[in-house]
């Protein structure tokens, strides 16, 4: 089976259209999500993400033009209220790698009593390592995004290096910290820690 | 042995450290009643994890103890230790009692 064939099939695979969790689901982004995702991308929550669209029309175009090697999801509560987004991009079946990203909780008040962010991450890692059988996921975080750096390290991501002056954010250049996670690390550490945190916060 | 006041001070210091990394509009009001998780929580998931990291680091660096405040014991409690400063303090005190 060619890798291109696999990529083309990704978005059509029934088992990838919706990823079901205990508290939230991830469903593939649609054109009709343009307004709400633009609102989130223009909010302060997205200040560490790359600059996005400026209008709903541009956001629709952005959603329409997603390449076949990425999966972009809306995080929804069980009542189907969209509360954020998360993606797996640069999916590469040759090297068995991908980059989780565009992780954004836009409606914090809707998820205050549920561990939505933790479960969204867990679902995206399960997608990468269990459904797609990748070997490694990776990403970069702006050095001033301290809470996200602590978050990723806590859940087992390994700091692998640094791109100097890589991002222009908040009016100045910042280094990008490079992180990676291997499949065995996910199964041995991250899966356990994320499940533990989800259980802890479900126990109210 | 750690006292109630020492643990409370440690949690408050960890919250102050967390606040230093938050933008002005997200800074939290820190009191001994600050809610950490649930409908009235002032912090989000990212910040909660940062707070846990800050507390565990302080316990390790300042008190020379290695404890995990998210271990299995936390899960079998009737209520989550992460509801507010008081529930977290009580839980950490229990962990120290078991050392």
pLDDT for res A108: 84
Mean pLDDT of chain B: 88
Place of tokens 């600059």: A51
Which residue out of B46, B47, B88 would a mutagenesis test of the A interface target, given it has the greatest number of A Cβ atoms within 10 Å? B46
Residue B78, domain member (yes or no): yes
Task: For the beta carbon of residue B10, count every other beta carbon within 10 angstroms.
Answer: 19
| A·B CB contacts under 8 A | 68
Residue B60 CA: distances (Å) to CA of A134, B10, B57:
35, 12, 5
**Among A24, A38, A136, which residue's Cα sits nearest to residue A80?**
A24
ipTM of the complex: 0.78
Q: Which residue of A has its CA nearest to B49?
A: A151
pLDDT bin (cut points 50, 70, 90) of residue B7 is very high
> CA-to-CA distance for A204 and B79, rounded, in angstroms?
5
Residue B25, domain member (yes or no): no
Handedness of CA B31, B84, B46, A105 (dihedral sign): negative
**Chain B residues with beta carbon closer than 8 angstroms to that of A47:** 23
**Chain A residues with beta carbon closer than 8 angstroms to that of B45:** 105, 115-118, 151
pLDDT for res A47: 66
User: Which phi and psi angles does A90 have, rounded to 5°?
Assistant: 55, 40
pLDDT for res A25: 98
Q: Which among B41, B49, B81 has the least Cβ separation from residue A112?
A: B41
**Chain B residues with beta carbon closer than 8 angstroms to that of A150:** 49-50, 53
Mark the ranges of chain A whose per-residue pLDDT is less than 70: 1-8, 45-51, 203-204
pTM of the model: 0.87
E-strand ranges in B1-99 read: none
> CA-to-CA distance for B79 and B76, rounded, in angstroms?
8
User: Which phi and psi angles does A175 have, rounded to 5°?
Assistant: -70, 155
CB contact under 8 A, B72 and A151: no
Query: Token digits for A156?
Result: 């087992």
Which residues of A fall below an 8 Å CB-CB distance to B? 44, 47, 105, 108, 112-113, 115-118, 146-148, 150-151, 153-155, 193, 196-197, 199-201, 203-204
Q: Which residue of B has its CA nearest to A145?
A: B21
Residue B86, domain member (yes or no): yes
Q: What is the mean pLDDT of residues B38-59?
A: 88
Domain holding B88: CATH number? 1.10.1200
How many CA within 13 A on the CB side of residue B7? Answer: 20
Residue B83, domain member (yes or no): yes
pLDDT for res A202: 81
Q: Could you read off the pLDDT of A52-76 as tens digits, one per residue?
A: 788 999 999 999 999 999 999 999 9
Residue B23, domain member (yes or no): no
pLDDT for res A3: 61
Structurally, how many domains does chain B consist of? 1
Residue range(s) defining the domain that contains residue B35: 4-18+31-97
Distance from CA of B59 to the nearest CA of A (A): 16
Residue B24, domain member (yes or no): no
Q: Give residues with Cβ within 8 angstroms of A103, minimum separation 6.
A: A84, A85, A86, A87, A117, A120, A121
Q: Which among A44, A196, A200 has the least Cβ separation from residue B23?
A: A44
């Amino acid at each position: 089976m060619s890798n291109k064939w696999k990529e083309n099939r990704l978005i059509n695979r029934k088992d990838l259209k919706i990823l079901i969790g205990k508290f939230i689901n991830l469903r593939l982004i649609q054109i009709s999500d343009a307004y709400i995702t633009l609102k989130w991308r223009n909010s302060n929550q997205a200040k560490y993400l790359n600059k996005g669209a400026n209008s709903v029309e541009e956001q629709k175009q952005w959603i329409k033009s997603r390449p076949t090697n990425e999966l972009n999801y809306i995080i929804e509560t069980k009542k189907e209220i969209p509360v954020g987004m998360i993606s797996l991009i640069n999916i590469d079946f040759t090297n068995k790698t991908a980059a989780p990203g565009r992780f954004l909780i836009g409606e914090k008040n809707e998820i205050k009593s549920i561990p939505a962010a933790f479960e969204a991450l867990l679902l995206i890692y399960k997608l990468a390592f269990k459904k797609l059988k990748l070997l490694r996921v990776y990403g970069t975080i702006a050095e001033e995004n301290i809470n996200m750096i602590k978050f990723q390290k806590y859940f087992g991501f390994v700091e692998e290096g640094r791109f100097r002056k890589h991002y222009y954010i908040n009016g100045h250049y910042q280094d990008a910290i490079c992180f990676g996670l291997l499949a065995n690390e996910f199964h041995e550490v991250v899966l356990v820690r994320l499940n533990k945190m989800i259980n802890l916060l479900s126990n109210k | 042995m750690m006292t109630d006041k020492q643990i409370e001070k440690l949690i408050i210091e960890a919250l102050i450290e967390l606040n230093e990394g938050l933008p002005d509009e997200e800074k939290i009001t820190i009191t001994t009643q600050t809610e950490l998780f649930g409908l009235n929580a002032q912090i989000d998931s990212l910040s909660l994890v940062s707070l846990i990291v800050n507390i565990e680091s302080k316990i390790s660096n300042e008190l020379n103890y290695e404890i995990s405040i998210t271990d299995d014991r936390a899960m079998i409690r009737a209520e989550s230790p992460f509801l507010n400063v008081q529930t977290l303090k009580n839980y950490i005190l229990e962990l120290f009692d078991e050392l």
